[in-house]
Amino acid sequence: MPTNMTEIRDFVMRERELALSEREWKFRLRGYGYDIRNTDEGTVVTSLIGGREICTLGAAA
């Protein structure tokens, strides 16, 4: 399981490449305890436990 922001970002984007749709991507990430939210600052990876923001994905998402 990824432990720092760079590893989490890489993991999330790798899962995006494997998913056929944004819906599937989000579903896959929920299985690992992550969620994707669109905010004014951009796309953000959050933790399902506690809902805290972990990192932003930038334009790549």
- What b/e readout covers 15-30, taking b as 16+ CB neighbours within 10 angstroms? bbeeeeeeeebbeebe
This prediction has a pTM of 0.83
Tens digits of per-residue pLDDT, 10-40? 999 999 999 999 999 999 999 999 999 988 8
**In the predicted structure, residue 3 carries a pLDDT above the cut 70:** yes
Q: How confident is the model at residue 60 (pLDDT cuts 50, 70, 90)?
A: low
Quote the distance between the C-alpha of residue 9 and its chain's center. 7
